[in-house]
Structure 1
Amino acid sequence: MDTEQTDAYLRRIGAARPAAPTARALGELHLAHLRSVPFENLSVHLGEEIELTAEALVAKVVRERRGGFCYELNGAFGALLTALGFDVTPLQARVYDEKGRLGIPFDHLALLVRTQDGGQWLADIGFGAQSHLPLAYGERGEQTDPGGTFRLVESAEGDLDVLKDGKPQYLLDPRPRTLADFTGGAWYHRTSPASHFTRSLVCSIIDGDSRITLSGRTLTTTRDGERTVTELASEAEVLAAYERYFGIRLEREPRVRASR
């Protein structure tokens, strides 16, 4: 990313260019991204290709003013952080399902970020409802965050379980990866009937101290654990909600595609 592209990305998330790649700057960028760019899987159901290159991902977030799921969001964010002088390493993880079973390898992409002031941080703006701020990568005690209480627990094999409020979210492999390594995982999640991304629609963003989520025609606002649910009645209402709450302009309503 050149200076012009970097500045455009910073404008997209409403953040100033940091003076140095510090832990504080990383935290500000992380939160700004979560508040500006939605977690969404609309491309899966709109028949859009997902290209795992930094150029394509940044273009989707900045020029097209869209969001994405983990590979897209953390891939684009990693490119921004690298352009700003942070040391960024993609890491692969396997996600736990509701029954505690692990998903496929390269199920999820997260970022290990090293800052100029000597810190190592787990940055993840692509997991949906996760920590609002980066987690201290070397810390093994509880880490309190606006998104919950988090903990990184080492396994006997050297991997890290990432826990939220005591519940395992994903198993993180500390070995460095590249963006291209996640091509198979991204293909699986946009094509397999077994993937939850092919079976449901989601678009979600942090709005102040609330989270707003649109799933199909169900609009949910969550604040302090209290949920307000509104059922939208028409395609026009759905398209208006995408634009109002997520800044996404669509020509047609996304619908879950039939599994093939």
Structure 2
Amino acid sequence: MNSSQVEAYLRRIGAEHPQEPTGRALRELQVRHLRTVPFENLSIHLGEEIVLEEERLLDKVVGRGRGGFCYELNGAFGTLLAALGYEVELLAARGYADEGRLGIPYDHLALRVRTVEGETWLADVGFGAHSHHPLSYAEREEQVDPAGVFRVVAAGPDAAGVSGGGSAGSGDLDVVRDGSPQYRLETRPRVLGDFAAGVWWHSTSPLSHFTRSLVCSRVTEDGGRITLSGRELKTTAGDGARATWELETDEEVLTAYRERFGIELDRVPTVRNRNRNRSRNPDS
């Protein structure tokens, strides 16, 4: 990633170039990323290829002003952080589904980030509704965040008072939000190409929540969230107040993508697989 690409990325998220790769700067970068780069799965329903290569990810997020899902968002964000001097490792995770079941291997990509102060953080801009701030990787007590109370705990049966939902590898961690497990994190570093099978499955399987529904969502300035799911536009304010609108025409949908998320589309995406319309809810 060259200097012009770094500056273009920082402009994309409205951030200043940090003087040093500190924890404070990381927190600011993550918040700004969540507010400006939406979590979205539109490529799946528009028939666009998703390629896990740094240049392709940067072109989509920075050049085309789009968002993406975890592999794309954390893949691009990790590239930016490394260029800014952070030590970045890609970690594989498996999301928790109903009844404590774990998702497929390489279900999710998260980032382990080390700063110039020697601190280690879990950064994640690609899990829908999740922590606004990086989580301390080593802290095992509660971590209060605008999105809830989080814990990073050793994985296993009844970890953090919940069912483990599957066998835990050596050193695996559970990320828990408000007492509910979000994903199980492996601690072995991976490379971007390792997640290709996860991208393929989530983009093609009729069992994937991403092929069954449309979502485009981002954090708002007041700490709330705005989400467009198909034709339903939903806002949740920082104080918890909610509002929902049903968009009736294609033009209203395209305008919402453009004005609310900065995404220019020439046609309205439609769900590929309508058989089981259930998704990971960014507003949950």
Q: TM-score, normalised by structure 1?
A: 0.98
Structure 1 Cα separation of the partners of residues 11 and 140 of structure 2: 35
| Contact kept? 2:213, 2:274, Cα under 8 Å | no
Residue identity matched to 1:216: G
Matched, 1:230 2:272: no
Aligned pair count reads 260
Which residue does 1:253 correspond to in 2? 268
Unaligned runs of 5+ in 1: none
Structure 1 Cα separation of the partners of residues 122 and 69 of structure 2: 17
Structure 2 Cα separation of the partners of residues 226 and 174 of structure 1: 38
Unaligned runs of 5+ in 2: 157-169, 276-284
Structure 1 Cα separation of the partners of residues 155 and 202 of structure 2: 26
Structure 2 Cα separation of the partners of residues 234 and 148 of structure 1: 35
Structure 1 Cα separation of the partners of residues 17 and 10 of structure 2: 7
Deviation for aligned residue 1:158: 1.7
Which residue does 2:235 correspond to in 1? 221
Which residue does 2:120 correspond to in 1? 120
| Contact kept? 1:193, 1:259, Cα under 8 Å | no
Which residue does 1:184 correspond to in 2? 197
Could you list the per-position Cα deviations for residues 162-200 of structure 1 after superposition, in whole angstroms to 9, with x for gaps in the alignment? 000110000000000000000000000000000000000
Structure 1 Cα separation of the partners of residues 255 and 4 of structure 2: 31
The secondary structure found in structure 2 opposite 1:176 is strand
Could you list the per-position Cα deviations for residues 55-95 of structure 1 after superposition, in whole angstroms to 9, with x for gaps in the alignment? 11011000000000000000000000000000000000000
Residue identity matched to 1:185: G
Which residue does 2:147 correspond to in 1? 147
Q: TM-score, normalised by structure 2?
A: 0.90
Matched, 1:62 2:75: no
The secondary structure found in structure 1 opposite 2:190 is coil
Residue identity matched to 2:230: G
Deviation for aligned residue 1:253: 0.3
Q: CA RMSD in A?
A: 1.1
| Contact kept? 1:222, 1:228, Cα under 8 Å | yes
Give runs of ≥4 in structure 1 deviating > 4 Å.
Answer: none
Structure 2 Cα separation of the partners of residues 54 and 145 of structure 1: 30
Structure 1 Cα separation of the partners of residues 63 and 35 of structure 2: 17
